[in-house]
Amino acid sequence: MNDINELRKKIDLIDKKILELLDERCSIVLKIGEIKKELNIETYQPNREREIINNLKKTSKTLNDVSIESIWKEIIGASKLIQGTTIKIGYLGPKGTFTHQAALEFFPKTSSDFIACKNIYSIFEDIEKEKLNYGVIPIENSLQGTVRETLDQLIDREIYIFGEIELRIIQNLIVNHKTDLLQIKKIYSHPQAFAQTRTWIKTNLPNVKLVNTESTAEAVNKIKELGDLSNAAIGTEFAASINSLKIINSNIEDNPSNFTRFIVISKKKNDIKEGDLKTSILYVTKHKPGALYSVLKSFADANINLLKIESRPRRKGRWEYIFLMDFEGDIDTTEVKHVIDDIEHNVIWYKVLGSYPIYKNSN
């Protein structure tokens, strides 16, 4: 017993030292905050925060990566609070959606106010009106392609892409406690989730009734509200957790290579110039032979790697198409500026959506 007491005293002393070091860290953070205000630098620096966490993961001898990430995200969030910085983040709701999960992974919880929004349009609208600092919305899925509503809003509004994050889309069969597979008569979920789990449903529950909902999160909320043991939902582990429901089958999606890319949008450009960057642009080519070829050739001649290109009908002109392009590089470099100047000869309109850090999964 004496040994335990001695060890507990050592822990108390270590905790006191940790707190003293955190206080010292916070005093430095306050000084940095003052410098940022003087230089008009964006307070939120996700790439710098990611760099801090990744470096710490290489240093620890006992803590795993998940523990380090969760601890330091909150330390960083607490630092923002003492700077008087609370950021408002809108996400495609309700609580428990994949978009909500993406927002929580991108932003620190301590200094962030996460706000569920009804649709993509309202997120853009509230950012323009400065009711939100940032928005998190899906831009593309590896199986279903681009989210057209997101692309349309990027075309129409003066909003920038600030960052990106990818999530593996894992679907789960969620039920009330005490429900087993044989009791299930109805499954609630979004039509896309049903499409992604068609084979599993046909194999395991071929006779159940499928009921469409606006989102997988709404489906989970619905079965909790009904409380009937014959109901199930297909949704996220996160949604099951916050609703205190049970997962009886996980990873029921037919294709494990199902990822969604989410973008973080803002009225401000991302001024971070660290790490690998990508740039997103929109443009409409001139009506002349070889115009699109010439645009692509400008990037090829500059040895700039294209990451994505796709077309979208332009609603302001008949038979005109807007091209969305992602490429490696920063819009503010001389190399990229020369290419943009060059493509102006072959486009009638273009728009830079922003340069931002390329998402890299740290796990």
CA distances to 239, 269, 350 from 109, rounded to whole Å, are: 17, 22, 36
User: Closest Cα to residue 280, out of 165, 181, 155, 185?
Assistant: 155
CA angle 353, 147, 102 (to 5 degrees): 80
- Helix (H) / strand (E) element for 167: namely strand 160-168
Residue 1 has pLDDT above 70, yes or no: no
**For residue 322, what is the domain's CATH number?**
3.30.70.260
Which of helix, strand or coil describes residue 333?
Answer: coil
Instruction: Show Cβ contacts of residue 93 under 8 Å, excluding neighbours closer than 6 positions.
Output: 99, 100, 116, 117, 118, 215, 217
User: In Å, how far from its chain's centre is CA 278?
Assistant: 16
Do the beta carbons of residue 323 and residue 292 sit within 8 Å?
yes
Nearest to 219 by CA among 252, 182, 257, 245: 245
Q: What's the full length of the chain, in residues? A: 363
Residues 239 and 300 placed together within one structural domain of the fold: no
CATH assignment of the domain containing 126:
3.40.190.10
In a domain, 343, yes or no: yes
Tell me the average pLDDT of the chain: 88
168: part of which helix (H) or strand (E)? strand 160-168
Q: What is d(CA 47, CA 272) in angstroms, rounded to the nearest whole number?
A: 7
3-state helix, strand, coil in the chain (%, to 5): 40, 25, 30
Domain housing 328: 277-357
Q: Does 50 score more than 80 pLDDT?
A: no
Q: Are residues 289 and 343 in the same domain?
A: yes
Please check the confidence at residue 161 and state whether its pLDDT lies above 90.
yes
State whether 132 and 186 are in the same domain. Answer: no
Q: How many C-alpha atoms does 135 have within 13 Å on its Cβ side?
A: 30
DSSP secondary structure string for all residues of 47-60: HHHHHHHHHHHTT-
Read off the pLDDT of each residue in 189-206 and give the average, rounded to a whole number. 93
Is residue 25 one of the residues assigned to a domain? Answer: no
The 3-state DSSP class for residue 97 equals coil
Instruction: Say yes or no: 137 and 122 in one domain.
Output: yes
Query: How many C-beta atoms lie closer than 10 Å to residue 184's C-beta?
Result: 20
Residue 296, in any domain of the structure: yes
Rounded alpha-carbon distances, angstroms, from residue 289 to 93, 115, 280, 282, 309: 45, 48, 25, 20, 19
* 157 and 101 within one domain: yes
Residue 324, pLDDT above cutoff 60: yes
Show which of 266, 301, 319 is a domain's final residue: 266
Pair 289, 341 in one domain: yes
292 falls within a domain: yes
Query: What is the model's pLDDT at position 46?
Result: 64
CA distance 355 to 12: 46
Q: Side-chain half-sphere of 187: how many Cα atoms within 13 Å? A: 29
Coil, helix or strand at residue 7: helix
Q: Residue 145 domain-assigned?
A: yes
Where is the domain boundary, 232, 266, 300? 266
Rg (CA), the chain: 24
Query: Based on the domain organization, do 182 and 157 belong to the same domain?
Result: no
Does residue 163 lie within any of the structural domains? yes
More confident residue, 226 or 317: 226
pTM across the whole model:
0.77
Cβ distance 135 to 89 under 8 Å?
Answer: yes
Checking if the pLDDT of 33 tops 80, the result is no
Residue 24 lies in a domain: no
Residue 363 has pLDDT above 60, yes or no: no
As a whole number of angstroms, the distance between CA 99 and CA 262 comes to 7
Question: pLDDT digit string (tens) for 67-125?
Answer: 888 788 788 777 777 776 678 999 998 898 999 999 998 887 777 889 999 999 999 99
Identify the CA nearest to 362 among candidates 135, 49, 89, 92: 49
Q: Which amino acid is at 31?
A: K
Q: In what order do the strands lie in the sheet with 277-285?
A: 306-313, 321-328, 277-285, 347-357
Number of structural domains (the chain) is 3
Residue 130 lies in a domain: yes
For residues 211 and 189, give the distance between their C-alpha atoms in angstroms, rounded to a whole number.
6
pLDDT in tens, 240-295: 999 999 999 999 999 988 899 999 999 988 877 777 899 999 999 998 899 999 99
* Rounded mean pLDDT, 329-333: 93
Q: Does 118 lie in the same domain as 97?
A: yes
Quick one: which H or E segment has residue 226? helix 216-226
Confidence bin at 192 (pLDDT 50/70/90): confident
My answer on whether 286 and 319 are in the same domain is: yes
Please give the Cα distance from 258 to 335 (Å, whole number): 35
